[in-house]
Amino acid sequence: MPTSAAADTDLAAAVSDAVAAALPAFVEAVTAAVLSDPRLTGRRVDTTTDTPTSDVTAASDLRALLDSNPKHRPSDPDAWIATVAEHYPGAATALAWAWSDRCPTGYWRRGRGAPGTAKNVGRSTRSELDQLLAEHTLATVRDRADLVAGLSGAVETVQAAIADRHTAKVTYTWRRNLIAAAHLTGDDLAKAVAVISWCLRSRPHWQRTITQPPSRAAFEKMLGDWRAEGQDWTIADVADPDMAQQLRDLGRTWTRYQSEHGGGAHPSVPRTGRNLHRALAGDGIDPVSARDLAALMRWWFDEGNARFHIRDADFPDPEVVSRALLAMRTSRGAIGANGVAATNAAASGVRAHTDLSELEGLA
């Protein structure tokens, strides 16, 4: 009977022989499975140093494109072509589009030379050529040629707003930042520009710090400020048609009073509309009727009480409206009571007591 140690030795030898016999077939099966994986389709598995056919074709296309557009020839065409052919697949198609009348913006046609590539190619996507490729995709794949077409005008608007306080140097990065901002507003470039312009008009912090279109993170904060002030309100938010009409009427009344008594400042339609809407609907206060709001406007402007409650050209928040209504009703109640007392005194022939409290401290 074999000993336990001898049995273990025999078992190990048998396992080793079996593994050695099966290993070639196992390696072959694993290799075949890896090479047939669809996730590897299109990858170059050739380990030779020969230039791939696709790179040769891309380089040829780029060279032909530069020959037909000498204005855009880079200072070192060979180096530029080699870099673009290797790291920017499909660039020739995008460049041909950008330098033609098919591109909805003249920005890429106006410049001289070829768009620059990233310093760390393969790791950075923030180069001028990356921006061109992004706009090409936006216009031709996502069907947002309108957004690309509006970029140059958006840049000019933001530049003008910044130039009030800073010297603005425009680069292609302005376009990238404005596209990122537009994505945060539902691809609404005009809205993104309106948010930035409003912040630069009304917020000292942004006036000091913004010297170019904001980063995505900064724009998110600007958008928060804009929304907090009710700037995103529209009449379309009002489901009740009767209330919508009341808001239109009250808005016109408010605008007229501001033009006559408010120093000529123009109210913000979204903020004024939102605050009127909140007052009518009872957002944070008891609902206020359109008649009472109209009476409050008369009390503020016709009776000279606006300075106690109005701080700018916009209709105030509901909390201010609530306090002002209380003050209006209290003052009118006091006037009514004094009027009754005066009538009774006159009828009795007794002179009413003179209130000297307002004169205290003036002697």
Considering the domain architecture, whether residues 180 and 204 belong to the same structural domain is answered as: yes
Has residue 285 been placed in a domain?
yes
Considering the domain architecture, whether residues 221 and 263 belong to the same structural domain is answered as: no
Nearest to 53 by CA among 80, 81, 85, 84: 85
Q: State the virtual CA torsion across 271, 272, 276, 281 in degrees, nearest 10.
A: -10
**Pair 84, 117: CB distance under 8 Å:** yes
Has residue 189 been placed in a domain?
yes
Has residue 71 been placed in a domain?
yes
The pLDDT-based confidence of 46 (bands split at 50, 70, 90) is: very low
Considering the domain architecture, whether residues 213 and 193 belong to the same structural domain is answered as: yes
* pLDDT above 50: residue 50: no
Considering the domain architecture, whether residues 312 and 241 belong to the same structural domain is answered as: yes
DSSP β-bridge partners for residue 121: 124
Concatenating the DSSP letter of every residue in 277-330 gives HHHHHTSSS----HHHHHHHHHHHHTTT-GGGT--SSSPPPHHHHHHHHHHHHH
pLDDT tens by residue, 79-100:
999 999 999 988 999 999 999 9
The pLDDT-based confidence of 327 (bands split at 50, 70, 90) is: very high
Considering the domain architecture, whether residues 246 and 159 belong to the same structural domain is answered as: no
The larger pLDDT score, comparing residue 213 to residue 90, is at: 213
Sign of CA dihedral 256, 260, 261, 264: positive
Report the number of distinct structural domains present in the chain. 3
Mean pLDDT of 298-318: 93
Instruction: Give the per-residue pLDDT at 27.
Output: 57
Considering the domain architecture, whether residues 250 and 329 belong to the same structural domain is answered as: yes
Read off the pTM: 0.66
Separation of alpha carbons 9 and 266, rounded Å: 97
Q: Which domain range does residue 316 map to? A: 235-334
The larger pLDDT score, comparing residue 53 to residue 293, is at: 293
Has residue 35 been placed in a domain?
no
Has residue 69 been placed in a domain?
yes
Distance (Å) of CA 50 to CA 45, 47, 55, 86: 12, 9, 10, 13
Considering the domain architecture, whether residues 163 and 134 belong to the same structural domain is answered as: no
**Pair 151, 132: CB distance under 8 Å:** no
Considering the domain architecture, whether residues 215 and 259 belong to the same structural domain is answered as: no
Separation of alpha carbons 225 and 207, rounded Å: 13
Instruction: Give the per-residue pLDDT at 98.
Output: 98
Has residue 355 been placed in a domain?
no
Residue type, 341: A
Examine the fold and report which residue of 122, 144, 166 is the final residue of a domain before the chain moves on: 144
**Pair 131, 172: CB distance under 8 Å:** yes
Which ranges in the chain belong to alpha helices (H)? 4-35, 53-68, 77-87, 91-98, 107-110, 128-140, 145-149, 151-162, 172-184, 189-202, 204-209, 216-228, 241-261, 269-281, 290-301, 318-348
User: CB under 8 Å to 260, separation ≥6 — which residues?
Assistant: 301
Instruction: Give the per-residue pLDDT at 11.
Output: 64
* pLDDT above 60: residue 263: yes
Has residue 30 been placed in a domain?
no
Query: Both tokens of residue 287?
Result: 């609902």
Examine the fold and report which residue of 144, 179, 204 is the final residue of a domain before the chain moves on: 144
Examine the fold and report which residue of 164, 196, 228 is the final residue of a domain before the chain moves on: 228
- Of 49-58, 62-71, 291-300, 315-324, give the lowest mean pLDDT range: 49-58
Has residue 3 been placed in a domain?
no
Mean pLDDT of 319-338: 82
Considering the domain architecture, whether residues 329 and 252 belong to the same structural domain is answered as: yes
